[in-house]
Amino acid sequence: MMSMYNYAVAAHPAAWYTLHSETCVPMVSPARFVETFNKHKQNSFISYSKAWWNPLITKRANLHVFPPAMRLVHSQWCIFCHEDLSQMVGLPKTDNRINQVLTTVMRGKIADESYAAILLLLINNFKNVISKPTTLVDWKRNNLNHPHTFDDWTKQDETIVRAMMQNGSEYMFMRKIGPEFPDRILRMFIA
């Protein structure tokens, strides 16, 4: 992931960077996306929080070796502003302390859900970060640690999505959308 971001920063400098899988789709119109971008282009969106498990028992990302303030997790689907991402790809190459912390994180399992939050904490204490998710994901109906795949649009799908949209997040994308998902529903959100 960081290799792709490193390439993007070097080869295609931009104000915002985000990675999404082939199962992600836009949830806002281009006009709404541009409006959000113009308002927040100096900000990163990374939904982070303290680990919801006991890191001394469940040793994901080796969080148990860090002080409680660094035992962070985040949604993998983030938007990084240029300033944050430039520092994220550059500083671990030159700052030995940051590199040691990140090496410890990466040696733990499921490290990709803590890496960016810990790195931004170390770099600038979340100076530019808005802690809101940008990708709507249904974990309530997960399948073997994978989020629910929206293959159709049932009444239950609608109820769950509408409830999640009430939390004030900046949802711009939706995941996981199956290939048979009806385009008319996506158009309803994008309108």
Q: What is the full DSSP assignment across the chain?
A: -HHHHHHHHHHS--SEE----TT-EE-S-HHHHHHHHHHHTT-EE--EEE-SS-TTTS-GGGGGGS-GGG-EEE-S--BEEHHHHHHHHHHHHH-HHHHHHHHHHHTSTTGGGTHHHHHHHHHHTTTTEE---SEEE--TT-BTTBPPPBSS--HHHHHHHHHHHTT-----EEE-B-TTS-HHHHHHHH-
pTM of the model: 0.90
Q: Is residue 169 very low, low, confident or very high in pLDDT (cuts 50, 70, 90)?
A: confident
Residue 176, preceding peptide bond in cis (omega within 30° of 0): yes
Give the model's pLDDT for residue 191.
Answer: 66
**pLDDT category, 170, cuts 50, 70, 90?**
confident
For residue 88, the model assigns a pLDDT of 95
Flag whether pLDDT at 127 surpasses 70: yes
Residue 163 reports pLDDT greater than 70: yes
Q: What is the pLDDT of residue 160?
A: 92
Band of pLDDT at residue 79, cut at 50, 70 and 90: very high
